[in-house]
Structure 1
C-alpha cells in the first residue's frame, strides 16, 4: 500500500521526535511491504524564521495533497513577544481551520509499567481508558470579534464564544460513534448552568442521542468533570466537549499517566487528511539534546496507521511494541530519576524498532 505523509517537524524537540517517527515508519514499510512517501513542510516558529508567517501556503498545499499529517510541535520563548497573529501557535490553529480538523481525539490510558509515575493512587488509576473528543475549530479560540477596545479610559479585551448547531452536531455525532465502538458510554461536558452556547450544546446532544439508543449518555458540568477525572477516572469511557474545555480537561487527564511525554493525539476532518501529534509541546529547554521521549509521537503514528490508513494490524503491533519496551524497563529521562538508566531519543526509538521486528517476524 502506498500513502503520502506530510511531515511538519516544527519547533523545539519536534524535529527529533519526527525523525524517530520516520525511523519507525520506514521499518513498518519493510515489515509489511508498504510504501510511504514523505514531504516536509514548515510551521510555527521555524516558518516564522524562514517566511515571516507561521503557516505558509506551501505547507497547506503539501498537507492537502497528503493522506495524513505528522506534526512535531510548535512554539517556544523565542517567539513569545510577537503579536497574536504572528505567534507560532497561530500556525497550528490555522492548519486546523483550513483543513477543517474539527475532531481532536486524545486517548488516556495507563501503561502498567509506568503506574508509579502517576501522582494518583494506584487503586484510582488502574484500568483507566478514556477517550476525550474535543471540538477543535470553534468556540473561544476562533470566535469573532477578538480584539481590544478602549472604553471610558480603560482597555477591554474581548473574545467571543460562538457555536452553531451544525458545528455541535458533527462533533457530538463523532463522540457517539466512537462510544458505540468502545464501551457504549458517553459523557457530554458543558457549562449549561451559565453559558448559552452550552445550553444549545446540551439540546443537540439530546437530539443526536436518539440515533444511538445503545449508547448510554449523561451530561456533566465542566467543573465537576475536572474533579471527577481525578476522583474516579474509571467512570469515563468517551468524553465529548467544546474547544476550550477539551483543551483544559485533556491536559489534566494526561497527568493521570504521570507524563505528557506518553500521550498521542489525532485531529480528524470529515473527508480530508488527519493530523497526528504528541501533546507534550516543543520543550525548548531540552531541544537538540537527544533526550526527548519519542513514545507519544510513536503512539501518534499508531493512531495514524489506524485512523487514516486502516492499517489496524500495523497499528496494534506498534502499540504493543511500545508496551513491551516499557515492560522491559526501558525509560527516557522524563520517566526515570536514575540518570544512568535513561535512554536517549535515538536509543528508545531503536528499542521500539527491535520490539516491532520481534512482533512481526
Structure 2
C-alpha cells in the first residue's frame, strides 16, 4: 500500500498538522508516510513512543546512514563539514557533549542574566525611538538572540547579516541542493577563519575555551556552526510567536504584567504549543525494534513527531488549549534523551526577559496586522513568522 505524503504545513499555528494528529490518535499511533524526498518512513506520534525512540540507542542520529530521513532528493550538503554533536551516537556523543555542557549550566546562565537584560533594554530603546509601525522580527526577535549567542561564542556581531542570511537559507525547505551547499560552504569557511584566528590569538569566550582545552579546530568549527544557527533562529522565532500569542490574549497578558513570576509558566506553555523544531527528531533504526505493537526494521527511517506528541491528550489535559499557567515541563520542545537541547536554559531565560521587559516598557504594544494575516513559516524547517508589524501609543 502506498504511504501518504507527510504533511508539513499547519492549518493552525497553535496545532500540529492535521495528518500528524490523525497518526497519533489512530490505532498504534505509528504510521508510514512518504517524505518529500520520496523515502517511506515511520511517523511516531504519541508522547510515550516518541520518548522511547529518542532514548533507545537502536535508533541512530547519524546522518551518514543511508536510511536516515531526508526531506529533499538531493545529496545531503552537510558532508562538507565534520559532523555536529547532534549527528553523533554513543560512545562518540558523550565526550563531545561533556566538553561543552559546562557552558550552559543554570549557574552560568544566571551569570549572563544582567548582560542579556541590558541587550533587551537597548533593543527596546531602539524600537521606541524608531518609526511606527515596525517589524518586531527585525527590531527585537532576531537581534536579541543573535547578540547573545555572538557574545557567548565570540563571533563579531557586525557579521550578523552574513550568518543570519545563510542560516535562514539552510533552514528553508525550498532551497536547491546547490544553494544549500553554497550557503553551508560560505558559513563553514567563515567559521574556519574565525576559529583559526582564535587559535592564533586566544580569546576568553566559548570557542576560545574549547580550543584552550585542546579541542580539535575542525570540531570547534562544527560546534560553532551548530550553536550559531540553533542559538538564534529558534529563540528568535519563539520570541515572535510568543509576542503574537500574548497580544492576542490581553487578559492573560495583563496577569503576567501584574505578576512576572508567572512568566516562566507561560514560556513553558508557549514552547509546548508551538514545538517549532517539530521535524528535528529524525532517526534511523540500526536494529529491529518494537514500538507499541509495530516492528520497525533495521534501516527504516523514523520521524518522531514532537509537535503531535506535545499535544497528546493522554499526556496533557486539554492538550489543544493554550493554558499559560499550565507550566508543564514534560514537553519535547527541546527534544529528549542524550540529544536534548544544550541551550534550553539560555532560551528559557531569553524568552522570560524579553516578554517581561517588552510588555512592561511598551504596555500599549499591539499588532499592526491581524494575527491570522501574518506570514507564518510553513516553508521552513523551524516554524515561526517572517514578519510581525507592531505599533503602540505614545506615553501620555
Instruction: Report the TM-score range of the alignment, normalised by the length of the smaller protein.
Output: under 0.3
Highest relative contact order (Cα 8 Å, sep 6+), 1 or 2? 2
| TM-score normalised by length of structure 2 | 0.22
- Choose between structure 1 and 2: higher strand proportion: 1
| TM-score normalised by length of structure 1 | 0.24
